[in-house]
Structure formats: C-alpha cells, structure tokens
Structure 1
Amino acid sequence: MTVTMNTKKPRKPKAPKLVPDDLINGLLILVEGKDAESILGESGLAGLLKKQLAERMLATELAHHLETEAKQGELVHHQTTHALR
C-alpha cells in the first residue's frame, strides 16, 4: 500500500487590486503598439503616472500642512488676545 502526501504549499490570499482592470485596460490602449520605453520609461506612461501621483500627494500634504498651520495660528491668536484682556 502506497501513501501519497500532499506537498503543495497553501496559496496565499491575493492582495486586493489597487487599480481596477478597466482603468489599466484604458491606459494600455493609449500605448498600444508602442515600444517598452514608451510605456515604462520616465517620459512614458509609467513615468507620467509616477509624476502625477507624486504631485498629487505633495499637493495634498501641503494643503493639509497649511490647514493645520492656519488652525494653530487661529488658536495662538485667540490665546494671545484673550490673555491681553
């Protein structure tokens, strides 16, 4: 009698997709028939996406910083005028 053991590793659960397939397909249509540099290079699709993402993140961070700074400034102004009374 021969016993066989299952030696397959259990599959890891798939990570959730950050970008929907439809969006990826739409982007790939824009570069259809182009060379790898047009897609993956710094001046290509990947480079432009990276640049736009970085700009959006920096703009959001700056807006948050300025908003926080403005709120802190209002608090300091209120405390100063209250102390002067």
Structure 2
Amino acid sequence: MSDYQDQLSVSMDAAMEEKIESYCELNDVDMQTAVHEALNEFINMHGEEIAQLIAGYRAMGNLNEEICDEFTACEAEAYSHFC
C-alpha cells in the first residue's frame, strides 16, 4: 500500500452528522476514523460488484472507441450544416 494520502471531502445532512458524532463519542474514535471504517466496510461488502463494473468498463472501452471513430465523420458533417 502506498504512503500517499489524499483528502476527501464528505457532505452530509445534519441528522447523519449527528449519528456519526454519537458513534464516534460512544466508540472513542474521531470522525476521520469512523468515515474510513465505513468506506472500508462498504467496499468489502460491494467489492465484487465494483470489480465487475471496472472490468466491464475496461472491456467495453475498445468497442466504445470504435463506435466513436465511426461516427466522427457523421458528426463533423452534421456540424458543418450549423456553422
């Protein structure tokens, strides 16, 4: 694992913030730790689905590029009628 760290901004409504603050107080953890644990739990629960989505997007990348290449000339011609 890399030593590199990045920041992530999380927006939430007041009710969710209150729940997290209560959790943090009850479990003696800071909010950063609680959010980190929640994200890890989410990724662990949905890791297979996420991996399948990533694989699907990678597999379709070449096909999407071919489709775009095929329509470039059509789009250029259509655009020329408006300019």
Length-normalised TM-score, structure 2: 0.31
- Bigger radius of gyration among the two: 1
Length-normalised TM-score, structure 1: 0.30
